[in-house]
Amino acid sequence: MPDFPFSVLLSPETGIPEQYDNHIQRRLTDLHGQFSNQEAYEAALAGENRMLYEVFELSRPHTPGELLTGVSVIYPGLIGEEFVMTKGHFHEVLETAECYYCLQGEGAMVMENPEGDCEVVPMPEGSILYIPPRWAHRAVNTSLEEKLVFLFIYPAHSGHDYGTIESQGFRKLVLYRDGEVIVVDNPRWSAGKSE
């Protein structure tokens, strides 16, 4: 994107920006080890290595003062009882926040901080979701039919720290059980902690 003020239109149908610089695509294999039901994950992989989510980013220098913005699209579906979700991450610069605006669909944001607080906050269409500094975040598509589409904005020097989440996941899981969206403790998280 240019080094002067600009605007970019989002498609009224899809929410995808008409121009973007980076296109990240994450498929099933990119979330290896992230879904709690390993058997269901392997079964899903036996089919197509399907697309779970895409990110359309407007690129700016990764320097303090700049903001990174763009749109993410999370496809609907389940792996076992678990909804399709992002990998999730802490920011490398922990004291940086992030803000989302939900354009389409319905979702939830799973968040936790190193102090041990955790929250799962609904993200209905039309809502702003604010992630304070220090909070790891994972977006979950809680619809089984619709895409979850949201705009994100965060400081360009934040960086992504995936390691902690990759090793033990988040403290909470968002599941679909008996026709309802439920939040449960993540057994793998406790196991990781006691090792």
Residues that bind ligand M6P (CB under 6 A): 26, 55, 72, 86-89, 98, 152, 160
Nearest approach, Cβ of residue 13 and ligand M6P (Å): 20
> Mapped to the 3 state alphabet, what secondary structure does the chain carry?
CCCCCCCCCECCCCCCECCCCEEEEEEHHHHCCCCCCHHHHHHHHHCCCCEEEEEEEECCCCCCCCEEEEEEEECCCEECCEECECCCEECCCCCCCEEEEEEECEEEEEEECCCCCEEEEEEECCCEEEECCCCEEEEEECCCCCCEEEEEEEECCCCCECHHHHHHCCCEEEEEECCEEEEEECHHHHHHHHC
Q: Which residue is nearest to Zn ion (CB)?
A: 98
Nearest approach, Cβ of residue 37 and ligand M6P (Å): 20
Specify the residue, 44 or 129, whose C-beta has the smaller distance to ligand M6P: 129
**Residue 54 binds which entry of Zn ion, ligand M6P, none, CB below 5-8 Å type-dependent:** none
CB atoms within 10 A of CB 54: 18
Nearest approach, Cβ of residue 121 and ligand M6P (Å): 15
Structure tokens at 43: 């079964």
Nearest approach, Cβ of residue 165 and ligand M6P (Å): 8
**Residue 27 binds which entry of ligand M6P, Zn ion, none, CB below 5-8 Å type-dependent:** none
Specify the residue, 44 or 102, whose C-beta has the smaller distance to ligand M6P: 102
Specify the residue, 165 or 175, whose C-beta has the smaller distance to ligand M6P: 165
Nearest approach, Cβ of residue 85 and ligand M6P (Å): 9
**Residue 72 binds which entry of ligand M6P, Zn ion, none, CB below 5-8 Å type-dependent:** ligand M6P
